[in-house]
Amino acid sequence: MACLQAEYVAYVGSANDTTETKFCELVVRSMAKRLQLTCGLTVRMFKSKRGDEIIMTVKADEGDLKVEAERTEYRLQTSNKPFDAIHTSKLEAVARDVGDVVMAESKAHLNNIQRHSTTSQIAPEPEMDPLLISHGKVHHMKLHTALEKWGHNELADGRTTPPVPTVAPSLWQRFLSGLIYISSDPWTYFALYTPYKSDPKLQPYYRRYLTSSATWTLFRPVDRIRLTNSIINRHLNLDALKATTSLQDAFALHDTAALDALKTSWALNKAMTSQPIGAIRDY
């Protein structure tokens, strides 16, 4: 309490009553300091054109999101084939962070688990679930058939644009799909979700997504929104701030680059039966 009183006096200039404008500015300033110093978030503030509102933007970096994901046991999707050649760029980025020795240990660890789970049936590259992917026709016939039928595409892992379907559907197939069936989505990727762990050995197993700045990230836009919201709610009581009208509203802003990329394949650019459901879901 003494700390808050000292901050009030330092900002207002005395312990006396102040104006509503000054008090609101102090509240916003206190919120910003808490988010910056306690959470490590990037905070920027602007005044509205009329000067009667203060707009605050909050951004979390990759490190903040990783800490929160591990704390809350947030589930991230893994790669079925984390060391496949399609992930060369991603693996190089991970190796720069954890080192080549850890990368070798990670691959050996997955190989060791695979030997126990598949006995003599060894895939060319270590997999998270070889009994479903490489040997699915033998061990999980119904599920493996359903994955092939409803659009699971291994090439979707790590791509920023959906891979081209291996077989183009005929006009009749597209007509039936629109009337009866769910259309095949080239973004569909079936793989395990597991709570995030910061153990360096586990980092190559998680899926990565290429951003507009050509860097790899663990988090889709929807993950970033959830985790940033979790960080803020842990340190600020937004409901109490709204009840006292100190806060009007809080919401996620669009990522301009990600939205522009989505617009090229969404809405009027595609038929209703071929919307990029996976891309919309991840956004």
Mean pLDDT in residue range 55-73: 92
Three-class SS of the chain:
CHHHHHHHHHHHCCCCCCCHHHHHHHHHHHHHHHHHHHCCCEEEEEECCCCCCEEEEEECCHHHHHHHHHHCCCEEEECCCCCCHHHHHHHHHHHHHHCHHHHHHHHHHHHHHHHHHHCCCCCCCCCCCCCCCCCHHHHCHHHHHHHHHCCCCHHHCCCCCCCCCCCCCCHHHHHHHHHCCCCCCCCCCCCCEEECCCCHHHHHHECCEECCCCCEECCCHHHHHHHHHHHHHHHCCHHHHHHCCCCCCCCCCCCHHHHHHHHCCCHHHCCHHHCCHHHHHHC
| pLDDT at site 6 | 67
Quote the CA–CA distance of 148 and 80 in Å, as a whole number: 15
| Average model confidence (pLDDT) across the chain | 80
Q: How many CB atoms lie within 10 A of CB 49?
A: 7
Mean pLDDT in residue range 237-262: 83
> 9-13, 40-44, 208-212 — which one is most confidently predicted on average?
40-44
Share of the chain above pLDDT 70, in %: 77
Asked if pLDDT for residue 223 goes beyond 90, the answer is yes
Residue 246: name the closest of 5, 33, 34, 23 by CA. 23
Output 257 or 166, whichever has higher pLDDT.
257
| pLDDT at site 195 | 96
How confident is residue 16, by pLDDT bands cut at 50, 70 and 90? low
Name the CA dihedral angle for 92, 205, 252, 257, rounded to a multiple of 10 degrees: 30
| pLDDT at site 14 | 61
How confident is residue 24, by pLDDT bands cut at 50, 70 and 90? confident
Do 236 and 31 form a contact (C-beta atoms < 8 A)?
Answer: yes
